[in-house]
A and B are shown apart, each in its own frame.
Chain A
């Protein structure tokens, strides 16, 4: 095993990690950009995606179906939550209420998951057609992780195209800049908000479905991931789509290389990265100073 092939394998591993993180962070940052709401429940939503994906895969016997059905289900749950609860708080002066409400959702949702699926970790395994090993510079590398990298890149491109090149994307960007004006021009801003919240949750669910074969679906997977996602979004800049991509890659590299060279301190490195970014640029790399 040469040094070069080792580094390459680690980099690919980090990129596949970044792909999963991207799905969570991207949804989080979109929701924040539109609604100025920090969805603390996003990690639990990711976990719900993993569990729903497991059930879908067991019922339909198809990983692809799981990847379609679970995000739709979670997206509907997210949109319903926005519609029933969050919407009632929009007039409130105190922005902390959102933080508290989504925190409450995180507690309730994770308990519901425990009640429905039980406490044992669940895994339907890596689907057969992605189970192989690929040799890269004579270094074996799991096909599934390559699939993650590819899917991550494709999805990042697709979301970018959606935001920049479609009418719905235009509306979303407009609402994030000036909701009153968009409303005055005759758009149903509330509907855009509900839609974006659901869309963000669905993205997190995709991440959950993808992560489940690697780490199994277990209670508590949401907590670590929500902190990772917040670190990413804070590093990249709240509300910045490009920032969430850069943040995902940075954090994934710090995690993978940190875990290899300094096992116990990997977590500390991530926070250290965030501290450095915040001390230099309080608004994040691509964010606006608030």
Chain B
């Protein structure tokens, strides 16, 4: 019963938070939630299919730049712009997923990285459209359909992001608990066996990558709409690296873990970067420690400590995690 209480308390806290913290913290909070969503999208690939993407920044960047271009040139309402950007990311993701899933493991990681770097290079190639190294600045937040303007303020935008995060989480949870998700778990645990059972695992992997890009694109779109600019940095490999770290430290294959990881790291990064420039060093060391000693991540440790009933064949270290919990 305890954990239900905990969830309820978290939900109340999330809704009430914008009124409790000062304005400047709200900015970090919104960015943290966006990164939580971004990390969760990557978890679909890493945690459920064991497809390690080193180029998930591509999804983020695609979403952000699409939103920027749509909002700047088309004067569409913000929510419509975001939806269109997500659709564009999904459409672009299909060929990428098709090519990347030809290989597995390391080659997959490098191919995804290659696509992200390719996107990064494109930004400088098509300077007229993308603004090159300056990026795109001055992205407006046009009022929504039916004259909605509630998301234009910071508090309003916070609820928009929170709503998107919650909706995406519920959707992803439904996906991984569906028969589709069961096949993904099959691929993760033993792909050869899953193929032998008659599943076209490649198609499932493509679908997962496209889904992950879609949610990642949503995160990027929300970021562009909030920050008001899109810079090449969004496509850079360090963005991919950061989000991968968040997924692993949060707890891959749990959806909620990466959200916590993302929120936790963005917040901590902001706090620590004010007092010390050794932050990336600390970041990397924490990451190494988790990979070495706690591959199940923060959420994995919490759930095994407090015995949250596991509803799914839950994940990262697969056997190890469940053994540790038992």
Partner of B292, one of A88, A268, A278, A282: A88
Is the pair A264, B125 in contact by a Cβ cutoff of 8 Å? yes
CA distance A265 to B117 in the complex (A): 12
Question: How many residues in A have their beta carbons less than 8 Å from beta carbons of B?
Answer: 38
Is the pair A107, B287 in contact by a Cβ cutoff of 8 Å? yes
B287 contacts which chain A residues (CB < 8 A)? 100, 103-104, 107
Partner of A271, one of B117, B237, B245: B117
CA distance A251 to B23 in the complex (A): 51
CA distance A100 to B109 in the complex (A): 11
A96 contacts which chain B residues (CB < 8 A)? 46, 50, 52, 105
Question: Does residue B193 face the partner (Cβ distance < 8 Å to A)?
Answer: no
Interface-side segment among B96-104, B220-228, B300-308:
B96-104
Is the pair A101, B288 in contact by a Cβ cutoff of 8 Å? yes
CA distance A227 to B291 in the complex (A): 23
Question: Does residue A210 face the partner (Cβ distance < 8 Å to B)?
Answer: no
CA distance A99 to B115 in the complex (A): 18
CB distance from B277 to the nearest CB of A (A): 9
Question: Does residue A175 face the partner (Cβ distance < 8 Å to B)?
Answer: no
CB distance from A279 to the nearest CB of B (A): 7
CA distance A92 to B105 in the complex (A): 15
Is the pair A99, B237 in contact by a Cβ cutoff of 8 Å? no
Interface residues on B, range: 35 or more
How many residue pairs, one in A and one in B, have C-beta atoms under 8 Å apart? 116
Question: Does residue B131 face the partner (Cβ distance < 8 Å to A)?
Answer: no
Is the pair B318, A227 in contact by a Cβ cutoff of 8 Å? no
Question: Does residue B114 face the partner (Cβ distance < 8 Å to A)?
Answer: yes
Question: Does residue A214 face the partner (Cβ distance < 8 Å to B)?
Answer: no
A231 contacts which chain B residues (CB < 8 A)? 110, 114
Is the pair A265, B125 in contact by a Cβ cutoff of 8 Å? yes
Main secondary structure on B side of the interface with A = helix
CA distance A123 to B278 in the complex (A): 25
CB distance from A101 to the nearest CB of B (A): 5
CA distance A85 to B244 in the complex (A): 20
CB-CB contacts below 8 Å: A237-276 with B = 238, 264-265, 267-268, 271, 274-275
CB distance from B174 to the nearest CB of A (A): 26
Partner of A268, one of B104, B118, B248, B317: B118
Pick 6 A–B contacts, CB within 8 A, sort by A: A92-B317, A92-B320, A103-B244, A227-B113, A274-B111, A278-B99
Binding site for A on B (CB under 8 A): 46, 50, 52, 54, 99, 102-107, 109-111, 113-115, 117-118, 121-122, 124-125, 237, 241, 244-245, 248, 278, 280-281, 283-285, 287-288, 291-292, 295, 316-320
Given pairs A101-B288, A268-B118, A274-B110, 10 additional interface contacts (CB within 8 A): A92-B317, A96-B105, A100-B291, A104-B291, A111-B284, A115-B278, A227-B117, A264-B125, A265-B121, A271-B114
Binding site for B on A (CB under 8 A): 38, 85, 88-89, 92-97, 99-101, 103-105, 107-108, 111-112, 115, 223, 227, 230-231, 234, 238, 264-265, 267-268, 271, 274-275, 278-279, 282, 290
